[in-house]
C-alpha cells in the first residue's frame, strides 16, 4: 500500500504527467457532458429511458440486448437520443475499413511504409471516411428511433418536429455527424495532449459509465422480493474479479521466440569468433494478437441470422437467433469468433516480413535456417498459440450468456462479465498504466542524468 501511495505521489509530482492527466480528465468530462444533450427535435422529458419504453411496447429481447450493447459503447448516449449518439464508433469502423483496404490497395500499402508522413495521410483518409460512415449510420439511427423505438403514432408528444419532415431529418443528421466528429476530435486531443490512446479511453469511459446503474439494478433485483439475497451479490463480484484476472492474463500472454543476433566478427569468421557472443533477444508473439476485433466482426455478422426468422417465423430453432442469450446464437457466435481470430491474426502478423527483417539485420532463430524456414516456423508457432487464444476469446465473448440466469439476474450487468466491453476495459487500463509507467521511468532516467551532469559541473 505504501508503494502505491508513493507511486501516486510521484505521478502528481511530475508536472508534465500531472498536466496530461488533468487534460485527459477535463476532455472526458466534456465528452460525458455532451452525451446528455439530446437532439433538439426530441423531447427526452417525455421519452424517459428508450430501453424501457422499447421493452414495454413488446420489443424483442434481441433488439433490447443489441440496443443495450450499442448504448454501452456511447455511455448511454445512444439510448438517450443524444447529439453524441453515434459516439466514436464511426471512427472505429472507418479505421477498420482503412486497415482492411490496406491489404488490397497498393497506395495504402505505400502510405503504411512511408513513416510519419504516411501515417498523417492515412489519418486524414480515416477522418474523411468517418464522415462518410456517419452519413450512413445517422439516417439508420434516426429510422430506428422514429419507426421502432419511438413510433410517432404512439409517442407523438416526444417530438417537437414531425419526424417525417425535412426539418427533422436534415438538422438531426448534421448534428449527429458533428457530434461524432467532435468525439473523434476529443479522442485525438487526448492522444496528443493527454495520456494514452484517446479513442480507446473514450470507449472505456462510455462502458464504465453504465456500470454503476447496472450494478444497482442487479443489487435491487437480488435483494428485493424473490431475490436470492445479498450473499449472491458478493459471489457475483468475486466471480467478476476472477473473470477480470483471466482477461488480463489473456491480454498480456505471449510466447517468446528466442532470437540470436550474430555479430559482424562472427559473420565474417574473424579471429575473435570464439570470444564474440551475439545479442540475445526475443520476439513476443501474443496469444491473443487479434484483440477484440474478432468479436466486433462476429457481432456485425450476427445480425444476419436474426433475419432468417422472416423466412419461417414458426421455426423454434431459427427463432433462437433473435435472442442474444440463446444457445443457438452463442454457439454460432463462438464459431465465428474462432474463425475471425485466425483470419485477423493471419492478415495482421506478417511472418514473411518478420523473417526478412531478421535475415536483413543478422538475426536468426536458433536451430532454424533464415528465410522461408524461419517464416514457416513462426507461422507454425503462431497457429499453435492462436488456437487456444481463439477458444478463450470465444469463451469470454459468450460468458455473459452463460452467467445470465444462472448467476446474474439482469441483462445489463451480465454484459460486464465478458464480451467486447470487458476486454476493452482491461486492454485500455493496461495500456494506460503502461503509459504512466513509461513517463515515470523516463523521468527517473532524466533525473539521474541531470544529477550526474550537475556533479560533473561542480567538480570542474
- As a whole number, mean pLDDT of residues 279-291 equals 80
Of the listed ranges 52-56, 147-151, 223-227, 304-308, the least confidently predicted one is 52-56
- As a whole number, mean pLDDT of residues 412-432 equals 81
Res. 280 pLDDT band, cuts 50 70 90:
low
Q: What is the pLDDT of residue 448?
A: 34
pLDDT at 298 over 50: yes
Q: What is the pLDDT of residue 128?
A: 92
Q: What is the pLDDT of residue 129?
A: 92
Res. 227 pLDDT band, cuts 50 70 90:
low
Q: What is the pLDDT of residue 315?
A: 66
Q: What is the pLDDT of residue 308?
A: 63
pLDDT 10s digits, 163-202:
888 888 999 899 999 999 999 999 889 988 888 788 888 8
Side-chain half-sphere exposure of 273, counting CA atoms within 13 A: 6
3 state DSSP class of 94? helix
Residue 284 or 439, more confident: 284
- As a whole number, mean pLDDT of residues 279-288 equals 79
pLDDT at 270 over 50: no
Q: What is the pLDDT of residue 236?
A: 87
pLDDT 10s digits, 315-369:
667 666 777 778 888 888 899 889 988 888 887 788 888 888 888 888 888 888 8
Cβ neighbours of residue 68 under 8 Å, at least 6 residues apart?
51, 79, 411, 412, 415
- Whole-angstrom distance, CA of residue 138 vs CA of residue 459: 68
% of the chain at pLDDT higher than 70? 78
- As a whole number, mean pLDDT of residues 12-25 equals 86
| DSSP single-letter state for residue 323 | -
- Whole-angstrom distance, CA of residue 88 vs CA of residue 185: 10
- Whole-angstrom distance, CA of residue 254 vs CA of residue 285: 5
Q: What is the pLDDT of residue 27?
A: 92
| Other beta carbons less than 10 A from residue 141's beta carbon | 20
Res. 277 pLDDT band, cuts 50 70 90:
very low
Q: What is the pLDDT of residue 64?
A: 44
Q: What DSSP string runs through 156-219?
A: GGGBSS-TTSHHHHHHHHHHHHHHHHHHHHHHHHHHHHSSS-HHHHHHHHHHHHTHHHHHHHHH
Scored b (16 or more CB within 10 A) or e, 382-397 reads beebbeebbebbbebb
pLDDT at 154 over 60: yes
The rounded mean pLDDT for the chain is 77
Cβ neighbours of residue 199 under 8 Å, at least 6 residues apart?
88, 91, 92, 184, 187, 188, 191
- As a whole number, mean pLDDT of residues 241-251 equals 89
- As a whole number, mean pLDDT of residues 59-73 equals 46
Amino acid at each position: 500500500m505504501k508503494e502505491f501511495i508513493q507511486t501516486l505521489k510521484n505521478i502528481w509530482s511530475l508536472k508534465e504527467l500531472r498536466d496530461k492527466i488533468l487534460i485527459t480528465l477535463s476532455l472526458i468530462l466534456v465528452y460525458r457532458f455532451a452525451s446528455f444533450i439530446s437532439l433538439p427535435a426530441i423531447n427526452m422529458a417525455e421519452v424517459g429511458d428508450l430501453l424501457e419504453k422499447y421493452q414495454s411496447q413488446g420489443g424483442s429481447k434481441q433488439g433490447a440486448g443489441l440496443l443495450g450493447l450499442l448504448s454501452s459503447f456511447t455511455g448511454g448516449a445512444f439510448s438517450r437520443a443524444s447529439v453524441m449518439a453515434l459516439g466514436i464508433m464511426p471512427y472505429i469502423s472507418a479505421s477498420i475499413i482503412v486497415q482492411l483496404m490496406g491489404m488490397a490497395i497498393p497506395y495504402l500499402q505505400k502510405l503504411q511504409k512511408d513513416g510519419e508522413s504516411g501515417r498523417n495521410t492515412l489519418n486524414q483518409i480515416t477522418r474523411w471516411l468517418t464522415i462518410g460512415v456517419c452519413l450512413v449510420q445517422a439516417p439508420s439511427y434516426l429510422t430506428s428511433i422514429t419507426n421502432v423505438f419511438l413510433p410517432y403514432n404512439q409517442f407523438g408528444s416526444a417530438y417537437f418536429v414531425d419526424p417525417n419532415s425535412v426539418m427533422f431529418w436534415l438538422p438531426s443528421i448534421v448534428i449527429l455527424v458533428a457530434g461524432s466528429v467532435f468525439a473523434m476530435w476529443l479522442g485525438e486531443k487526448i492522444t496528443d495532449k493527454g495520456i494514452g490512446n484517446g479513442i480507446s479511453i473514450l470507449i472505456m469511459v462510455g462502458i464504465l459509465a453504465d456500470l454503476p446503474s447496472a450494478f444497482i439494478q442487479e443489487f435491487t433485483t437480488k435483494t428485493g422480493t424473490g431475490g436470492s439475497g445479498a450473499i449472491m451479490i458478493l459471489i457475483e463480484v468475486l466471480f467478476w474479479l476472477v473473470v477480470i484476472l483471466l482477461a488480463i492474463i489473456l491480454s498480456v500472454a505471449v510466447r517468446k521466440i528466442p532470437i540470436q543476433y550474430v555479430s559482424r566478427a562472427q559473420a565474417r569468421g574473424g579471429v575473435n569468433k570464439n570470444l564474440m557472443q551475439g545479442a540475445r533477444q526475443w520476439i513476443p508473439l501474443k496469444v491473443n494478437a487479434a484483440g477484440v476485433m474478432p468479436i466486433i466482426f462476429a457481432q456485425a455478422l450476427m445480425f444476419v441470422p436474426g433475419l432468417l426468422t422472416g423466412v419461417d417465423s414458426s421455426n423454434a430453432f431459427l427463432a433462437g437467433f433473435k435472442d442474444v442469450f440463446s444457445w443457438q446464437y452463442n454457439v454460432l457466435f463462438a464459431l465465428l469468433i474462432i474463425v475471425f481470430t485466425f483470419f485477423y491474426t493471419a492478415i495482421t502478423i506478417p511472418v514473411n516480413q518478420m523473417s526478412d527483417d531478421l535475415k536483413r539485420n543478422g538475426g536468426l532463430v536458433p536451430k532454424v535456417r533464415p528465410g522461408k524456414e524461419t517464416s514457416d516456423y513462426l507461422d507454425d508457432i503462431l497457429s499453435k498459440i492462436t488456437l487456444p487464444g481463439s477458444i478463450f476469446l470465444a469463451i469470454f465473448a459468450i460468458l455473459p450468456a452463460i452467467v445470465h440466469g444462472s448467476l446474474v439476474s439482469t441483462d445489463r450487468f451480465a454484459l460486464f462479465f465478458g464480451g467486447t466491453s470487458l476486454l476493452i476495459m482491461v486492454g485500455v487500463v493496461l495500456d494506460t498504466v503502461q503509459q504512466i509507467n513509461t513517463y515515470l521511468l523516463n523521468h527517473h532516467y532524466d533525473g539521474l542524468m541531470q544529477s550526474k551532469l550537475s556533479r560533473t559541473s561542480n567538480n570542474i
